[in-house]
Structure 1
Amino acid sequence: MQPPSRRTFLALGLFTTLTACTASVGDRRAGPTPTRDPDTPVRLRAVAATDLLLGAYDSLLAAPGAQTALLQPLRDDVVRHRAELAQGLPTASPSPTSTPSRSLPTLPELALQEHRTAEAHLHDLDEVSPALARLLASVSACNALHATALGDQTPVKTPDAGTEGTPATGAAAVPALQTALSAEHAAVYGYGVVGAHLPDDPQRTDARTTHAAHQARRDTWQRLLTTLTAAPTPAAGGYQLPFPVTSPTDATKLAVHLETRLTTTYADLIATIPAPYRLLTATALRESTLRAHRWGAPATPFPGIPD
């Protein structure tokens, strides 16, 4: 239902004045109380945090000798974050309204601010609508990527959250958890191929580390499904590769493909998985975002969400 227009409010005010003699206090107070959108306060907090980031970027970009090539693309991402986070807010302008910070921040301080913003976006993930949860998790992953680009290598802390839920919630989570497990089965297989085609150098070491990380994530989904008395989907005997892999270049390209596909899978799952499991899924989305970029994928302001 559309909200009343100003003319409607004026008409209602006139009607109340004319009938005030006959209407009792109880009558005037009667009527349903409009419900407040639970997403609104979360969006407002997210926009406020984003405005602080924009102020820090503007201060650094205005300083002599600013590292424009590094900072401007990151700021552009934050502008897009703000526009999406402000959707539906009657009091928030869709365009940046930040003011430069009073004191000039350093690059490490800006990196820390990006890091803290990434963490802040996850605090209300289990309280918001599925669409906003997906957006917040994606923006948080991008903030973490920004922090890394600015030199902060500290892992983002995910708020503590139980994954027990209710029996009904657990049962509803099974299809999404099976999807996540199947995606990790494919990633484990794919990284076996990646490692086999890389030379014995730091890249192969990175591939082995990532292979082990996907095995650990696979095991996490398997344990959750077992806890819910659901039989985990077994791995297939083999998986079709998206293209032939015959060289180190192909292997690196495959790693990018695997992680990029995972970001899409996990971003979509956040919008469908029950709330108690969103934080785990957001963590998986962030990890794949960082790995994809490390393997050479181009940065995107909304990891896992196609433009």
Structure 2
Amino acid sequence: MQPHSRRTLLALGLLTALTACTADPRGTRPAGPAPTRDPDAPARLRAVADTDLLLGAYDNLLTVPGAQTALLQPLRDDTAQHRAALAQGLPTASPSPTGTPVRSLPTLPELALMERRTAESRLNGLDEVSPSLARLLAAVSASNALHAAALGDPTPVRTPDGRTEATPAARTSAVPALQTALGAEHAAVYGYGVVGAHLPDDPQRADARTTHAAHLAQRDAWQRLLTSSTAAPTPAAGGYQLPFPVASPADAAKLAVHLETRLTTAYADLVTALPAPYRPSAATALREAALRARHWGAPATPFPGLPG
């Protein structure tokens, strides 16, 4: 875990001060109703601290003569949006978008490594926060992974270990959301059959075959989870309506973008809908869909899968 920034520590101090103000000065009883504590506040503060370090690294690199501003500035802008979203609801001492200066000037590979490790850290404790914050952290983690890839780091992001075991009741309540995820993967498997059929026999078609295999594997994973929950997986439909006619390689790439973008939305919603033990699986699926969407030419977004 990255160390807290000075600003974040000030925010923690403010929280303590606000709590102390409500106590009776004689220390015998509270002067009034105890303040409502946001259970997500510690996780938000940690996420803001990590984001401050990234902002500081971007700010340092952008001051170097000849910096790759066209590459770095959009990623820095995304990171500032991450911070604003993560700081919502925190004390007023914390929402400034200014980053924490780093001790040395990072290189682009070091910045890419910071982004990848931050993508991983976002998912630690994902089963301990509210569904809405889990969804936001999953989307921001996916964006960090996209940044790492844009900066030249192709290393896969690791999913946290040590997932808590789902209770029988949690497995039962997960069934509707898992069936929705399975249906989305059935449609993606069908869609990539169309994509591959309209690409020339070159690296693009090989990419389509690889992606088709990835969706088959994800489909099978959801089927196994449903079976372990004593639910019968919903079978694929005989066919699926395409969102537009596909008659050329350009149409095929556009369809691939559509499929993956649709999946990012489905998986962001799944993070919210699934019981806590299953959230890392949904967040991982969201990230992989976002990376594939980028590969096929989807425009960049700071919050993959989230509206607006």
TM-score normalised by length of structure 2: 0.89
Match of 2:177 in 1: 176
Match of 1:67 in 2: 68
8 Å contact 1:54–1:98 — kept in the other structure?
A: yes
Match of 1:98 in 2: 99
Name the amino acid aligned to 1:224: L
8 Å contact 1:46–1:85 — kept in the other structure?
A: yes
Unaligned 5+ runs, structure 1: 1-8
Match of 2:16 in 1: none
| 1:4-43 equivalent positions in 2, closer than 5 A | 25=28, 28=29, 36-43=37-44
Match of 2:6 in 1: none
Match of 1:288 in 2: 289
The structural deviation recorded for 1:91 is 4.8
Query: 2-side partners of 1:43 and 1:92: how far apart?
Result: 14
Query: 2-side partners of 1:194 and 1:163: how far apart?
Result: 38
| 1:214-253 equivalent positions in 2, closer than 5 A | 214-253=215-254
**Does structure 1 residue 87 correspond to structure 2 residue 88?**
yes
Query: 2-side partners of 1:208 and 1:61: how far apart?
Result: 39
**Does structure 1 residue 300 correspond to structure 2 residue 301?**
yes
Match of 2:147 in 1: 146
Query: 2-side partners of 1:255 and 1:294: how far apart?
Result: 9
Match of 1:267 in 2: 268
Superimposed CA distance per residue, residues 60-114 of structure 1 (whole angstroms, 9 cap, x where no aligned partner): 0001111100000000000000000000001543231324323111000000000
Query: 2-side partners of 1:39 and 1:178: how far apart?
Result: 29
8 Å contact 1:259–1:291 — kept in the other structure?
A: yes
Percentage of matched positions with identical amino acids: 77
| 1:92–1:234 distance in 2 versus 1, CA, 3 Å | farther
Query: 1-side partners of 2:53 and 2:31: how far apart?
Result: 42
Name the amino acid aligned to 1:150: L
The structural deviation recorded for 1:162 is 3.7
Match of 2:158 in 1: 157
Match of 1:3 in 2: none
Query: 1-side partners of 2:162 and 2:284: how far apart?
Result: 12
Unaligned 5+ runs, structure 2: 1-19
Between structure 1 and structure 2, the one with the greater Rg is: 1
RMSD between superposed Cα atoms in Å: 2.2
Name the amino acid aligned to 2:104: S
| 1:30–1:301 distance in 2 versus 1, CA, 3 Å | closer
Name the amino acid aligned to 1:296: G
Superimposed CA distance per residue, residues 46-68 of structure 1 (whole angstroms, 9 cap, x where no aligned partner): 00000000000000000111110
| 1:29–1:155 distance in 2 versus 1, CA, 3 Å | same
The structural deviation recorded for 1:35 is 5.8
Name the amino acid aligned to 2:303: F
| 1:246–1:163 distance in 2 versus 1, CA, 3 Å | farther
**Does structure 1 residue 212 correspond to structure 2 residue 205?**
no
Report the number of matched residues.
290
Name the amino acid aligned to 2:176: P
Match of 2:49 in 1: 48
The structural deviation recorded for 1:167 is 1.0
The structural deviation recorded for 1:121 is 0.4
Query: 2-side partners of 1:240 and 1:29: how far apart?
Result: 63
Q: Secondary structure at the match of 2:208?
A: helix
Q: Secondary structure at the match of 1:186?
A: helix
8 Å contact 1:161–1:279 — kept in the other structure?
A: no
The structural deviation recorded for 1:29 is 6.6
